[in-house]
Amino acid sequence: MAKQAIAIYDLDLTVTRVATFTPFLLYAVVRAPWRALLAPLALPVFVAYGLKLIGRSTLKCALLHLFLGRPRRARLEALAEGFAAQVDDRYIRAEARARIAADRAAGCRLAVATASSGFTCVRWRSVWASTMSSQRKSPMPATDGYNSGRRGKLLCRSQAAPDRGVLPAARGACGAGYPLYSDHASDAPSFEAADQAVVVSPKAGFAQDALQRGWPVETWR
């Protein structure tokens, strides 16, 4: 079977105009309003995070368990699908839609690489899937490293579905120079490994650094 190249998109603030974690929590709580009464229990979690006693992954997992409990897979998937539709309607950047369409037309398989929990990843018809969601059997997240930001994202990119005849966007793997898109400086190791790094709407400091490294910077609205 011929190998198919893959273009990889960061999710929050690259494809979307907003970070999706908090909107997802609000979406879930609106559909189970009594869980809003548990909000005070989140305070010690935020305090621990502020004191650097726990990491971002543990923070997210704690909030998900607090405001979602341990739902059955069917309910969790229904929440994820409903939220995906809301994100698609409200938060997807127009330039992201255009670039996704262009990469598909070029014959590239598309993937979302994100530090978000796999089940919260948006599964648009124009996007292949989240490699994170395919790595997990449990519908709820755990602090196993896949939600740990830069290291976890680089890992799932490097292992992007080799059994499906898909090549990750690593240097030399994609002859046509298929790209990796992200907004954040923490993805610098992934940019360095990509055939083509595209920095999307970064903060000012990272924009200057990206240009110095020779990575094109694009503004997506």
Fold classification of 4-218 is Rossmann fold (3.40.50)
Among 1, 117, 109, smallest CA distance to 64 is for 117
Distance CA 77, CA 111 (A): 19
Detail the DSSP E strand segments found in 15-143: 109-113, 129-130
Domain limits, the chain: 4-218
Distance CA 109, CA 100 (A): 10
- Write out pLDDT tens, residues 14-61: 999 998 889 999 999 999 999 999 999 999 999 999 999 999 889 988
> Amino acid identity, residue 19?
A
- Write out pLDDT tens, residues 112-157: 777 665 555 545 443 433 333 333 333 344 333 333 345 445 534 4
pLDDT at 191: 87
pLDDT above 70: residue 4:
no
CA dihedral (8, 80, 124, 133) in degrees, to 10, reads 30
Q: Is-above-0.85 flag for pTM?
A: no
- Which long-range CB contacts under 8 A does 69-77 form with residues at least 24 apart? 69/35, 70/140, 71/139, 73/139, 76/119, 76/139, 76/140, 77/119, 77/139
pLDDT at 70: 85
